[in-house]
Chains A and B, each alone.
Chain A
Amino acid sequence: MLQKPSIGVFICQCGGNISDTVDVTRVKETIGTLDQVKVAETFEYLCSNPGQEMIKKAVKEKVLERVIVASCSPRMHISTFRQVMKSAGLNPYLMEMVNIREQCSWVHDDKEKATNKTIALIRAAVQRARYLEPLTPEKMKVTESVLVIGGGIAGIYSSLELADKGYQVYLVERNPSLGGHMAQLSKTFPTLDCSACILTPKMVSLSHHPNIKIFTNAEPILVKGSSGRFEVKIKVKPRYVNPEKCKTCGECAKICPVEKPSSFEENLVQEKAIHIPFKQAIPNASVIDKDYCLYLTDFLAILGPPGTRGVCGKCEKNCKNQAINLKQKDKILELKVGAIIVSTGFSLMDSTLIGQYSFGFHPDIITNLQFERLMLQGLHKPSTGEVPKKVAFILCVGSRSETTDGCSYCCKIGCMTAIKQALLLDKAVTKAEPWIFYTDIRAFGKGYEEFYAKAREHFILFIRGRASEVIPNDNSLIVKATDTLLGKQIEEQFDLVVLSPALIPNKGTKELAEMLSINLGPDGFFLEAHHKLKGVETRRKGIFVAGAALGPKDIRETTMEAMATASKAATFLGKGEKSVSPEVAYLIPGRCDLCGICVDQCPTKAITKGKNEVIINPISCNGCGICIPICPKEALDLKNTTEKQMIAQIKGIVEGEDTTPKIIAFVQKRTAYGSIDLGGQNRRNYSPEIRIIRVPGMARLGIKHILHAFAAGADGVIFVEGDDSIFNRDRMRERVMLFKKDLRKFGIHPLRLQITTTTLPQYEKTLALFDDFVQRVKKMTPITQEKREEVKKYLESEKTVT
């Protein structure tokens, strides 16, 4: 059914910016003759106060239901005119803007052609305006609690910030204690303050906070629901010790018969199977390592039954407080949260992969994290226990390398850690000789360069050259390298060799990314939504990432990011309610048959399967429109870019006999449209045959739109996609290939369809392509009217099916 609202068209002259090239009076007269157009006015400056008053007056006096403003780019003034609509008493989404400045008057010289194009653009807007619907931002309820995954410094900081703001926080940590890597460090660069002294007070205040619940030994196993209303299942592994009853007397550890390498001490020290993780651990209680406990694991089962399971149990019998329970089982908890913060951190690369450094063949070849533990234990050589004097620090072990075992990125903290450790060594040991073998010293942070200078003042030897080889000897280690600045080979003996391995994403990062359906970068770390502007957000709304889970990072940056995520999460959750942009996908009731194609394709997981139909969460939906053309039942649609609106606009833009050829450019709303606007602002002339339609993205378009364009009289279609597209290049090409195949079936040359991707400043490339494309289409034999009719017939027959 064709709706017949009354429409008012207002054409801005922009003080000559538009009226010098476009014959505004002719436009006004032609548009005034169109159906339903009650008012067609032109004014010098529509955005000025008198101009706005004129629109308001016309709306009220002539009882207009739709308003079209033909002026500058909607990127510039759409909010101004929406405000005008509001004060005139109309829904702001019933206004349509036509860009006749950046797309007509500034880029075309030919007055006749520019005027024709203006008329076509406004006509399209009039056609589209018939189907405009009033939209209001929806309000959604969100759960006012946050799940923080990972209890390192990033998790601790973001939890504290959020809890102080009044949100309920669930902190989930995989290890038996909070603290992460920072708890293992001796001192921090560049101020050399004690790491534990600044971390543990935070951990204590965290454990006493009324708004924070801590789950140690736990991991999320399932994340359901959508942004704002997540349902998370958490598996809590047994600790076998009740932390409330345990008094950390340590009697159990004395009688435990099993010894194992301590993971907190980086395997430098042996500890019992039942042990306290470290002195300041939170929760401060013993824990049993299941893999080593005789009672819990069958150690001798290989020799023949019975194994050792269920035999020992000494600790349980001897505990005075009855804190130990060896029969504990896995617990599964369900949490309801509104937002999730991921701060899973990093781990060190296995240095044995870089074979030439002989890591693992000699106890005196250690990693920098092991050196931190050695500093706290009292510095000694792991092999003999002597104090090391001459120590080599080898940087970039596996970092900045393109080999299969290495990582291509910089580990970012290796240089400063080595400098810090060298300085600490210099302080702790008299006549110490630290040598640092570096590729490039990267001292980029605040106070780092001064720290580097301080190290040189302390006569620490810096050798520019990556060590080539470490040869283990009986008493000492030989390091081979070149001083690349002198061009001479070095072969030196050392007491201790400290490697700085590359930082890699923590174990389980990939699985977590799949569970949360957020993206990983090529380096394996989590990927932020935008490299510069959305540094802690992910593609999925309501999920934020902080700290080394995003990439190698020092403590200062990590805490800053943690606080940023807390602030972002608080903004997202608001006060329990969230207003949502109305430009989202919606379901046309009664059509869906639950085939599930859209559920798989949705990049933000906004669509879930319901009972009879799919359910769309408007908070998660980002309005990309990918679900609409792929739906076989045409059951989905996108608000403010509905199927009807689009087809009406396509038809309107190519109607009439003004120019040949007519080419429609579908331009992505955000980046690409801005790019073409930029071209307009720089007065880059291009062919007036190009008519631009603003779409949410390439994903919104199906073959139907292209066929409609050709049926209505277009001679070519060009897509301009922004670089922030939800498609990657291959998938985009794949889709266009399918379109081209379909076009060939109707006898339309596939070269009439063109696709390009652009970044914001790259308008020159896009506009040059416009010119080339117009030339190409001009050379082709025109599409006959019969072919167009054939396409039209096909489209009509399709309509009857659905």
Chain B
Amino acid sequence: MRARKLSHEKDKLTAQAKTTQIGVRKETRRDFVKEVTKMPGGEKILECIQCGSCAGGCPSMFAMDYSPMQIIKMINLGMKKEVLSSSTIWVCSLCYTCATRCPRNVDFPTLMMSLRNKAIREKLVKDSTKSNFHKYFFEIVNKYGRMHTPELIVKLLDITDLHSLLHNARLGLRLFKIGKLHLRATKIETSWVSSIREKTDQEEIQ
């Protein structure tokens, strides 16, 4: 009798352990979902019926590790770590194809932007090459008050990859000929950048 009882309890324990492994434990799941529903773009994620309209038309899905539909499902399952360290949120080109086709009005691109912010804040960015673009972009805009393309290219350049280097050099020359690349950066007033930053910081605190 006792042995039977014990084996039963053992089963229960393993079952619990399994659920914690994939992070579907009820509390953490609900916490993360609640957090996301409060973000801009995440209001309707609980209404998702997993139809796949978003993934079907996505033009940049070839480069994603999870499809947009899977990301929504993972949020609903509470897989915070996996969602925030995925490449999908950085690869998304914000073309809004999915948002226009979604039958349940999920605003996926806006949610992606919110998740990018969260990923940086929680230091969960796994593949930094993808998020670096955003980082450098902001740095340059902060410096000059406007974009300076050559500097961004230099910052993003991977010197070890010779093939792409040559390919990009050819493209750069062509752009230079037309007059699209200016070697010297022109500087304008930069105060507006910091004012935006102050505003967003304030909202985050609230």
The reply to whether B52 and A403 form a contact with Cβ atoms under 8 Å apart is no
The reply to whether B104 and A481 form a contact with Cβ atoms under 8 Å apart is no
Provided the pairs A400-B103, A402-B104, A402-B105 are in contact, do residues A469 and B57 lie with their beta carbons within 8 angstroms? yes
Complex Cα distance, B67 from A467, in Å, reads 15
Residues of B near A487 (CB, < 8 A) are: 55, 66-67, 70
For residue B61, CB closer than 8 A to chain A, the reply is yes
The reply to whether A465 and B105 form a contact with Cβ atoms under 8 Å apart is no
**Residue of B at shortest CB range from A356?**
B101
The reply to whether B56 and A480 form a contact with Cβ atoms under 8 Å apart is yes
How near does chain B come to A408, taking the closest CB pair, in angstroms?
Answer: 9
How near does chain B come to A293, taking the closest CB pair, in angstroms?
Answer: 42
Complex Cα distance, B100 from A406, in Å, reads 12
Residues of A near B56 (CB, < 8 A) are: 465-469, 480-482, 489-490
How near does chain B come to A440, taking the closest CB pair, in angstroms?
Answer: 8
Cross-interface CB contact of A396 among B47, B69, B100, B103, cutoff 8 Å: B103
Cross-interface CB contact of A468 among B101, B104, B105, cutoff 8 Å: B101
Complex Cα distance, B50 from A487, in Å, reads 11
The reply to whether A465 and B52 form a contact with Cβ atoms under 8 Å apart is yes
For residue B53, CB closer than 8 A to chain A, the reply is yes
For residue B49, CB closer than 8 A to chain A, the reply is yes
Residues of B near A468 (CB, < 8 A) are: 52-57, 101
Residues of B near A480 (CB, < 8 A) are: 56-57
How near does chain A come to B127, taking the closest CB pair, in angstroms?
Answer: 19
Provided the pairs A481-B56, A490-B56 are in contact, do residues A439 and B51 lie with their beta carbons within 8 angstroms? yes
For residue A484, CB closer than 8 A to chain B, the reply is yes
Residues of A near B102 (CB, < 8 A) are: 403
How near does chain B come to A305, taking the closest CB pair, in angstroms?
Answer: 48
Which residues 396-441 of A have a CB within 8 angstroms of B? 396, 400-403, 406, 439-440
Residues of B near A439 (CB, < 8 A) are: 49-52
The reply to whether B105 and A484 form a contact with Cβ atoms under 8 Å apart is no
Interface residue tally for chain B (C-beta within 8 Å): 23
Which residues 67-91 of B have a CB within 8 angstroms of A? 67, 69-70
Complex Cα distance, B58 from A403, in Å, reads 19
How near does chain A come to B66, taking the closest CB pair, in angstroms?
Answer: 8
Complex Cα distance, B46 from A402, in Å, reads 13
How near does chain B come to A357, taking the closest CB pair, in angstroms?
Answer: 10
The reply to whether B51 and A465 form a contact with Cβ atoms under 8 Å apart is yes
The reply to whether B52 and A356 form a contact with Cβ atoms under 8 Å apart is no
Q: Which of B55, B57, B69 has the most CB of A within 10 A?
A: B55
How near does chain A come to B98, taking the closest CB pair, in angstroms?
Answer: 8
The reply to whether B105 and A466 form a contact with Cβ atoms under 8 Å apart is no
* A434-467 vs B, Cβ < 8 Å mask (1 yes, 0 no): 0000011000000000000000000000001111
The reply to whether A396 and B51 form a contact with Cβ atoms under 8 Å apart is yes
The reply to whether A466 and B103 form a contact with Cβ atoms under 8 Å apart is yes
Residues of A near B52 (CB, < 8 A) are: 439, 464-466, 468, 481-484
Complex Cα distance, B52 from A563, in Å, reads 41
**Residue of A at shortest CB range from B50?**
A484
The reply to whether A401 and B69 form a contact with Cβ atoms under 8 Å apart is no
Provided the pairs A356-B57, A489-B61 are in contact, do residues A406 and B50 lie with their beta carbons within 8 angstroms? no
Q: Which of B54, B67, B101 has the most CB of A within 10 A?
A: B101
Complex Cα distance, B69 from A541, in Å, reads 49
Cross-interface CB contact of A482 among B44, B55, B100, B103, cutoff 8 Å: B55
Provided the pairs A466-B52, A487-B67 are in contact, do residues A401 and B57 lie with their beta carbons within 8 angstroms? no
Q: List the 4 shortest-distance A-B pairs measured between CB atoms, nearest first.
A: A468-B56, A401-B103, A465-B52, A468-B57
A-B contacts besides A440-B49, A468-B57, A487-B67, 5 pairs, CB < 8 Å: A402-B105, A465-B55, A469-B57, A480-B57, A489-B55
